[in-house]
């Protein structure tokens, strides 16, 4: 939907825009009070300065790198929203719900945070706070040295950790289980050995490098693999359920994975090098094909 159409519908009384795709859109309208943007895709979107988004619902929206400077987000619902590298300088978030929100690299300079709602699941990592200081949750953010050290000491289960801008290229992490709300972004795992791993605690991984990594006999349920590089990776006997491959590159992977449910493609480069703009669900192309053909081509 184009921004102009959205504004026309809003002015006609429509408020339900659940799941709308506004990637990189410019939405210049001063008043969007009470609008429902749940589960919306809003990466890189720009909203006009001082846009009134009072009581707007952004729960579970992808708002990475969104521009909302000086916006009125009073009593807005931002629970579980992805606000990585969002631009919120000067915004008014009085009474906003940030429970479970991800604020990695978010700019909150001069932002009003009076009475905001947060929980232990709200992630602050390299976040620029209203007073200019950088806030990071030391209990969850894990660097490469700590992770490798814990692994060397025999630890194999990692829960509720954040790996952000971490270089793990070439490491051996065989048998690791990433459990319960593990967050990975901008992680370099190129050439890493990840045999017999459990990734079920990672719901979403973004802008990470798996080039030539060995992902053999691993399991991952309902993953969102967003703008990741898997070129030349080994995915032998990789058990994956209902994955989302937005913006990722699978060209030249070795020994494809086992898929139990439909795959979702958007701006994806497939094994053969074919670019799939999408958005499209694999069942739309493969509904009548034998299972074996899914492995070979899109």
Domain map (residue ranges) of the chain: 1-137, 144-296
CA-closest candidate to residue 210, choices 251, 240, 178, 180: 251
Residue 207 has pLDDT above 90, yes or no: no
- The number of beta carbons lying within 10 Å of the beta carbon of residue 161 is 20
The whole-model pTM stands at 0.66
Architecture of domain 1-137: 3 Solenoid (2.160)
SS3 content of the chain, % helix, strand, coil (to 5): 10, 30, 65
- Dump pLDDT digits (tens) for 39-53: 999 999 999 888 999
Please, which residues have CB within 8 angstroms of residue 215's CB and are 6 or more apart in sequence?
194, 195, 197, 233, 234, 235, 236, 238
Q: CB neighbours of 54 closer than 8 A, spacing ≥ 6?
A: 33, 34, 72, 73, 74, 75, 76
Mean local confidence (pLDDT), 286-294: 37
């Amino acid at each position: 939907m184009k921004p102009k159409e959205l504004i026309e519908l809003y002015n006609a009384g429509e408020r339900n825009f659940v799941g709308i795709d506004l990637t990189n859109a410019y939405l210049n309208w001063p008043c969007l009070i009470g609008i429902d943007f749940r589960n919306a895709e809003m990466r890189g979107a720009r909203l006009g300065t001082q846009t009134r988004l009072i009581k707007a619902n952004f729960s579970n929206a992808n708002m990475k790198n969104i521009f909302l400077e000086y916006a009125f987000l009073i009593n807005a619902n931002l629970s579980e929203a992805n606000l990585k590298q969002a631009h919120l300088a000067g915004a008014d978030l009085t009474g906003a719900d940030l429970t479970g929100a991800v604020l990695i690299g978010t700019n909150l300079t001069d932002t009003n945070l009076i009475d905001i709602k947060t929980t232990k699941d709200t992630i602050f990592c390299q976040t620029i706070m209203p007073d200019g200081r950088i806030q990071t949750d030391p209990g969850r953010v894990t660097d490469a040295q700590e992770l490798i050290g814990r692994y060397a000491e025999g630890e194999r289960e990692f829960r509720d950790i954040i790996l952000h801008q971490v270089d793990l290229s070439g490491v051996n992490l065989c048998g690791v289980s990433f459990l319960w709300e593990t967050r990975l972004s901008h992680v370099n795992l190129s050439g890493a050995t990840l045999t017999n791993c459990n990734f079920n605690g990672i719901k979403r991984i973004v802008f990470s490098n798996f080039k030539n990594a060995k992902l053999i006999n691993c399991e991952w349920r309902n993953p969102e693999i967003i703008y990741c590089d898997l070129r030349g990776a080994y995915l032998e006997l990789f058990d994956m359920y209902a994955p989302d491959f937005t913006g990722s590159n699978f060209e030249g992977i070795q020994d494809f994975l086992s898929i139990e449910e439909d795959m979702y493609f958007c701006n994806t480069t497939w094994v053969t090098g074919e670019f799939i703009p999408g958005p499209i669900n694999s069942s739309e192309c493969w509904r009548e094909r034998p299972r074996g053909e899914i492995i070979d081509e899109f």
